[in-house]
Structure 1
Amino acid sequence: MNPLIAVTSQNRKTVTSHAGLCRKFWLYPIENGMPGERRLVELAKDESFRATPGGLPAALTGITAFISQGMGQGMLMRLQRMGVQGWITAEADPDAAVQAFLRGEASAQPEEHGPEQDHDHEDEDED
């Protein structure tokens, strides 16, 4: 099976943070170490990571890596349990983030927050 990388992109333009609440992802198939044509996957509100504890949202089944501008330790551990590499990037451009990941330049340093932290990010759903 070829690697498949998911990148959080709530605004459909840049890599975004709050991975557990994100509902829009760019998926990049990797062939011969190079990213193929990306495709956008949009989840319903009840399909986000926060809404599907313990597993992957169905639309992200098969991913081998997950890139975001921010996620907590719990999310990183959850991904690891499912055999998915979780990576945090400072890159804003999704294509550049995938390239940095493939070069080994991304990091896996989690954000500092707990599961009790609640966010309201309805404004991030805008184009």
Structure 2
Amino acid sequence: MKIAVSSQNQTNVTAHLGRCQKFWVYDVDETTIQNKQVLQLTKDQSFHESSPKDSHPLDTVQVLISGSMGRGLARRLESKGIQPVITSETDPDTAITTYLAGSLVVSTPEDHAHDHEAGNDHEGECGCNQETI
């Protein structure tokens, strides 16, 4: 199974999935990490910039873990057969191991406030279903 974790700085789980361009992609079995590598997206490939209708480099993962995402982005992932997982865990490796153990503390997209920078006019393209401030 493949699990991606948003990690813009390659150290912590990134909070805003829509703008993230760096992901750890883990190959795992039922209980352990087999391999891990960084996937670098271009700005155009970020979820905020890309179309839900197009193929995406993360389409091959079964689970995507992030610090936050909007309901629209969660639905976008689900429509591609990817389980969206939101957690407050900040360490990517710990997020994976606790997910595999079934003990990762998760929340739903509705639990997260989704702030956009003032002047960000993406008109819902990311699927976050939030109005700009």
TM-score range, shorter chain: 0.7 to 0.9
Structure 1 spans left out of the alignment, 5+ residues = 119-127
Preserved CA contact (<8 Å) 1:29 1:35 = yes
Match of 2:132 among 114, 117, 125: 117
Question: Residue deviations 1:38-86, cap 9 Å, x none?
Answer: 1001111111011112157632231000000111111111111111110
Q: Which moved further from structure 2: 24-33 or 8-17?
A: 24-33
Matched, 1:46 2:44: yes
**Structure whose CA Rg is larger:** 2
Distance 1:59 1:86 in 2: 16
Alpha-carbon distance, 1:116 to partner: 2.8
TM (normalized to structure 2)?
0.78
* TM-score, normalising length: structure 1: 0.81
Alignment of 1:12-31 (within 5 A): 12-31=10-29
Q: Distance in 2 between matches of 1:57 and 1:100?
A: 29
Q: How does 1:55-74 map to 2 (within 5 A)?
A: 55=53, 58-74=56-72
Instruction: Report the AA paired with residue 11 of structure 1.
Output: N
Q: CA deviation at 1:103?
A: 2.1
Structure 2 unaligned runs (5+)? Answer: 115-128
Cα offset, 1:24, TM superposition: 0.3
Query: Contact 1:8/1:24 (CA < 8 Å) preserved in 2?
Result: yes
Q: Distance in 1 between matches of 2:32 and 2:68?
A: 24
SS of the counterpart of 2:19?
coil
Task: Report % sequence identity.
Answer: 36
Residue 73 of structure 2 is aligned to residue 75 of structure 1? yes
2:119 aligned partner: none
| Conserved? CA contact 1:5–1:65, under 8 Å | yes
| Match of residue 106 from structure 2 | 107
